[in-house]
Amino acid sequence: MQVFHTIPEMRNFVRQARAGGRSVGLVPTMGYLHEGHLELMRQAGKHCDVVVVSIFVNPVQFGPNEDFASYPRDLERDVRMSEKAGVDAIFNPSIQEMYPAGFCTQVEVGRITEKLCGLSRPGHFRGVATVVTKLFNIVKPDRAFFGQKDAQQALVIERMAADLDLDLEVVTLPTVREVDGLAMSSRNRYLEPEERRAALILYKSLQQARELYRAGERDASRLRRLVAAMIATEPLAGIDYVEIYSYPELEEVAEIQGPVLLALAVKIGRARLIDNIILE
Ligand code: PAF
């Protein structure tokens, strides 16, 4: 496995792979890898001849009061884990490499970014769409792999790829969970032991919503209120949002008739955790 820090080196590697007729899969990450990332890499390996993982903590997707500076980083560990997962190359550029002096272009996806995390984190999806467009242009993958835990992000990237006629397939894979149900996230590292226990309320409340839905509940605001009330029973949890939107359009729903996304963002200690399920 090779590790590249510059765009020309990365491009050269991909050019050679393509010249040999091999397909390329990209797994974009911000590093501090966990089993969720490794599963994306393994799936990429099943569907593509060559797997590239990008590791870049993208400053432009963090707000001024967010955790860019403290976001966990451990390149050596990430390199070891990626190699074991069968990755062929890591792209680990510097901020200067990605955003050189004079950089002033941004990619803005409309409508579907105006809710959920787009509301709580203004500018976040502009930063994500911009860096992902750059990564797509640098690596030119046949397929790019994302996790359903970041459901809105996956929809934004799918929308962007469709709207801009990007010549690749965006693959979204199921959320990988700890044995007790907590969705895997690099930010789980921020949780103190007591907070880690409290964080289970996200999964539990989603499970309760699924049961209510199965029992016939179709009133979206009642379901939202019940989920919010359950999260509120956990003293360490501060709700950012509990929302239900049609899936994948992300439009308002009163009565649940087709598939909907039930999405949560909850602050526990320093960690802002997100999770979701699709009810259909
Ligand atoms: O999901 C992430 O880790 C990031 O948002 C991504 C897609 C790598 C862009 O920086």
- Reported as a single tens digit per residue, the pLDDT across 216-260 is 999 999 999 999 999 999 999 999 999 999 999 999 999 999 999
pLDDT at 190: 97
Q: pLDDT-based confidence at 89, cuts 50/70/90?
A: very high
For ligand 1, the distance from its centroid to the CA atom of residue 30, given in whole angstroms, is 6
Among protein residues, the one with the nearest Cα to ligand 1's atom 8 is 29
Atom of ligand 1 lying closest to residue 58 CA = 10
- Reported as a single tens digit per residue, the pLDDT across 163-212 is 999 999 999 999 999 999 999 999 999 999 999 999 999 999 999 999 99
Q: How many CA atoms lie within 13 A of 113 on its CB side?
A: 21
> 3-class secondary structure for the chain?
CEEECCHHHHHHHHHHHHHCCCCEEEEEECCCCCHHHHHHHHHHHHHCCEEEEEECCCHHHCCCCCCCCCCCCCHHHHHHHHHHCCCCEEECCCHHHHCCCCCCCCCCCCHHHCCCHHHHCCCHHHHHHHHHHHHHHHHCCCEEEEEHHHHHHHHHHHHHHHHCCCCCEEEEECCCECCCCCECCHHHHHCCHHHHHHCHHHHHHHHHHHHHHHCCCCEHHHHHHHHHHHHHCCCCEEEEEEEEEECCCCCECCECCCCEEEEEEEEECCEEEEEEEEEC
For ligand 1, the distance from its centroid to the CA atom of residue 36, given in whole angstroms, is 13
For ligand 1, the distance from its centroid to the CA atom of residue 27, given in whole angstroms, is 9
Q: What angle do CA 64, 66, 68 make, to 5 degrees?
A: 95
pLDDT at 110: 98
For ligand 1, the distance from its centroid to the CA atom of residue 128, given in whole angstroms, is 6
Measured in whole angstroms, how far is the alpha carbon of residue 57 from the centre of its chain?
13
**CA–CA separation, 245 and 185 (whole Å):** 23
Per-residue tokens: 187? 């930010």
Q: Are 157 and 147 in contact (CB under 8 A)?
A: no
Q: Which of 26, 29, 172 to mutate to test the pocket of ligand 1 (most atoms within 8 A of CB)?
A: 29
pTM of the model: 0.97
Q: pLDDT-based confidence at 279, cuts 50/70/90?
A: very high
Share of the chain above pLDDT 90, in %: 100
Per-residue tokens: 102? 């004079």
pLDDT at 239: 98
Among protein residues, the one with the nearest Cα to ligand 1's atom 1 is 29
φ/ψ of residue 191, rounded to 5: -80, 125
Atom of ligand 1 lying closest to residue 56 CA = 10
φ/ψ of residue 6, rounded to 5: -120, 155
pLDDT at 232: 98
Q: Are 1 and 53 in contact (CB under 8 A)?
A: no
- Reported as a single tens digit per residue, the pLDDT across 131-171 is 999 999 999 999 999 999 999 999 999 999 999 999 999 99
Q: Are 138 and 111 in contact (CB under 8 A)?
A: no
Among protein residues, the one with the nearest Cα to ligand 1's atom 3 is 29
Q: Which domains does the chain have, with CATH numbers?
A: 2-173 (3.40.50.620), 186-275 (3.30.1300.10)
- How high is the mean pLDDT of the chain? 98
Mean pLDDT in residue range 108-116 = 98
Q: pLDDT-based confidence at 271, cuts 50/70/90?
A: very high
Between helix 151-163 and helix 124-139 the angle, nearest 10°, is: 60
Q: What's the residue count for the chain? A: 280
pLDDT at 90: 98
What amino acid positions are annotated as catalytic residues? 37
Q: Are 57 and 92 in contact (CB under 8 A)?
A: no
For ligand 1, the distance from its centroid to the CA atom of residue 204, given in whole angstroms, is 26
Mean pLDDT in residue range 42-67 = 97
Q: Are 257 and 246 in contact (CB under 8 A)?
A: no
Which residues line the pocket of ligand 1, CB cutoff 6 A?
Answer: 28-30, 58, 61, 128, 131-132, 150, 153
Using only C-alpha atoms, the chain has a radius of gyration, in whole angstroms, of: 19
